């Protein structure tokens, strides 16, 4: 549950009469398959000074969104009020609109906003803005404008969480040079695939661990097509000859960067492949198992273990630095160059004629399938304005 003080600081939507918007929201933390709901709400009023009205084109559902809804993630959305004139979404009963990442188009610009105009594509520069909504009024400081052309909606909707994380983890901890080696687990995750592509871009060799599956061939082929140097499974970490093989591949060069989004025993074993003065960067814990590291790695190999959270990076960097990063990534994603591919994805559309009850059932079903691992790819949400 959210605190009373949080409720007092409710963000507001300003509204007029006709019903045409929709959002996916919750009023209390819990299992997404039980607490998520759909709500239609009236059109936004014109934006107040220094704010923008946005229409969301596509929004992503990331692993952290589940934890946010469950109430176990450190970043929490502010409550939203004034969606409807009475009942849910009103000042008396504010709601929490889901979604942290998404691509939006500017529909109206308030007085005092500079450098952004109607029709521009923008991504979120603040966390938990409620991207699972057809429209939203935000401060112009909460968004970053994307380059005018060459990007797809999928690139835009998946730009601010995973690509930024992959880029920063490859840059901020070890000064890797062309021909150096790095290692990672969860290599088939969206972040892992971006790490592979960004490493390829810089000529960095990469050793990638994934969970084994009945047919490894398609996954190996896919990761190799992105630029993976070596692909192994966590089971291979039990192979005593692995260290020798790795030494052969690297020509004896120390591996100085390991990225971890899994945790548990396989991560401990992976870390043992690192060389002198290496850095282990943990950014996720998909196995939900704790991470333990042998003391000897710290004493004899001077291992440093870090955590990385993109939300902290965003808070601690200037607007200019963030715009610069988004523009670099966008350049690498553009048609023609495309050194970063859009993630494999499924788009779930909630259509204009679906009732709130139907939409509620649909979104809960999506989360049930995600928790069963049924998609195996990034799930993106497209909400259409309602015509009910
Ligand atoms: N710290 C940050 O700033 C930051 C930013 C972005 C993402 N993240 C985190 O990074 C992780 C990956 O995010 P994503 O969007 O790239 O996810 P994703 O594309 O949905 O991929 C999830 C990955 O987790 C693996 N996985 C799932 N359950 C597992 C288990 N029990 N044991 C081992 N592996 C398991 C999956 O492997 P299979 O294919 O074998 O199921 C897949 O490789 C998440 O933990 C996310 O929260 C952190």
Indicate whether residue 51 lines ligand 1 (CB < 6 A).
no
pLDDT in tens, 152-185: 999 999 999 999 999 999 999 999 999 999 999 9
CA angle 324, 155, 310 (to 5 degrees): 55
Chain segment 88-106, per-residue pLDDT in tens? 888 889 999 999 999 999 9
How many A from CA of 230 to the centre of ligand 1? 19
CATH number corresponding to 4-158+343-383? 3.90.180.10
Environment class of 135 (CB within 10 Å of its CB; exposed 0-12, middle 13-18, buried 19+): buried
**pLDDT value at residue 149:** 82
Give ∠ CA 31-36-41 in degrees, rounded to 5. 165
Beta carbon of 187 within 6 Å of any ligand 1 atom: no
Q: Which atom of ligand 1 is nearest to the CA of 284?
A: 45
Domain at 166-311, CATH from 1.20.1440.230, 3.50.50.60, 3.40.50.720, 3.60.21.10: 3.40.50.720
pLDDT for 80 equals 93
Q: What is the pLDDT along the chain (388 residues), one digit of tens a residue?
A: 444 444 434 455 554 445 689 999 999 999 999 999 999 999 999 999 999 999 999 999 999 999 999 999 998 899 998 888 778 888 889 999 999 999 999 999 999 999 999 999 999 999 999 999 999 999 999 999 998 788 999 999 999 999 999 999 999 999 999 999 999 999 999 999 999 999 999 999 999 999 999 999 999 999 999 999 999 999 999 999 999 999 999 999 999 999 999 999 999 999 999 999 999 999 999 999 999 999 999 999 999 999 999 999 999 999 999 999 999 999 999 876 778 999 999 999 999 999 999 999 999 999 999 999 999 899 999 999 987 6
- Ligand 1 centroid – CA 63 distance (Å): 7
What's the confidence (pLDDT) of residue 345?
A: 95
Is 208 near ligand 1, meaning CB less than 6 Å away?
no
Best residue among 184, 213, 234, 286 to mutate for probing ligand 1, ranked by most atoms within 8 Å of CB: 286
- List the catalytic residues: 73
Task: Please report, for the chain, the start and end positions of each structural domain, with discontinuous segments joined by +.
Answer: 4-158+343-383, 166-311
pLDDT at 2 (0 to 100): 44
Rounded CA gap, 258 and 297, in Å?
13
Ligand 1 atom nearest to CA at 311 = 3
* Residue pLDDT, tens place only, 145-160: 998 788 999 999 999 9
In the prediction, which pLDDT does 4 show?
A: 42
DSSP 8-state secondary structure symbol assigned to residue 98: -
281 ligand 1 Cβ < 6 A:
no
The closest of 104, 63, 48 to 261, measured between CA atoms, is: 63
């Amino acid at each position: 549950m959210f605190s009373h003080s949080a409720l007092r600081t409710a963000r507001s939507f300003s509204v007029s009469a006709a019903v045409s918007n929709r959002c996916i929201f919750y009023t209390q933390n819990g299992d997404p398959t039980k607490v998520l709901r759909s709500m239609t709400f009236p059109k936004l009023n014109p934006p107040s000074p220094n704010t923008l009205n946005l229409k969301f084109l596509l929004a992503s559902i990331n692993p952290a969104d589940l934890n946010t809804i469950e109430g176990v993630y450190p970043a929490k959305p502010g409550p939203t009020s004034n969606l409807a004139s009475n009942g849910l979404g009103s000042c008396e009963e504010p709601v929490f609109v889901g979604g942290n990442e998404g691509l939006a188009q500017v529909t109206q610009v308030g007085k005092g906003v500079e450098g952004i105009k109607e029709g521009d594509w923008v991504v979120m520069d603040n966390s938990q803005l409620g991207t699972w909504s057809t429209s939203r009024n935000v401060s112009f400081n909460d968004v970053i404008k994307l380059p005018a052309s060459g990007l797809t909606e999928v690139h835009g909707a998946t730009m601010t969480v995973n690509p930024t994380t992959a880029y920063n983890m490859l840059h901020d901890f070890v000064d890797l040079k062309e021909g150096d080696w790095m290692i990672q687990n969860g290599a088939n995750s969206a972040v892992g695939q971006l790490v592979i592509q960004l490493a390829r871009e810089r000529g960095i060799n990469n050793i990638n661990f994934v969970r084994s599956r009945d047919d490894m061939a398609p996954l190996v082929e896919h990761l190799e097509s992105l630029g993976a140097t070596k692909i192994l499974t966590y089971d291979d970490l039990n192979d005593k000859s692995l260290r020798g093989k790795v030494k052969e591949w690297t020509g004896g060069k120390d591996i100085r960067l390991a990225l971890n989004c899994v945790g548990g025993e396989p991560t401990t074993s992976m870390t043992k492949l690192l060389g002198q003065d290496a850095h282990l960067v943990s950014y996720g814990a998909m196995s939900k198992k704790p991470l333990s590291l042998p003391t000897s790695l710290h004493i004899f190999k001077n291992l440093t273990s870090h955590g990385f959270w993109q939300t902290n990076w965003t808070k601690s960097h200037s607007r200019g630095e963030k715009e610069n990063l988004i523009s670099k990534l966008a350049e690498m994603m553009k048609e023609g160059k495309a050194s970063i591919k859009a993630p494999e994805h499924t788009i779930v559309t909630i259509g204009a004629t679906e009732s709130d009850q139907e939409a509620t059932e649909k979104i809960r079903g999506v989360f049930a399938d995600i928790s069963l691992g049924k998609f195996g790819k990034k799930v993106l949400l497209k909400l259409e304005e309602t015509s009910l």
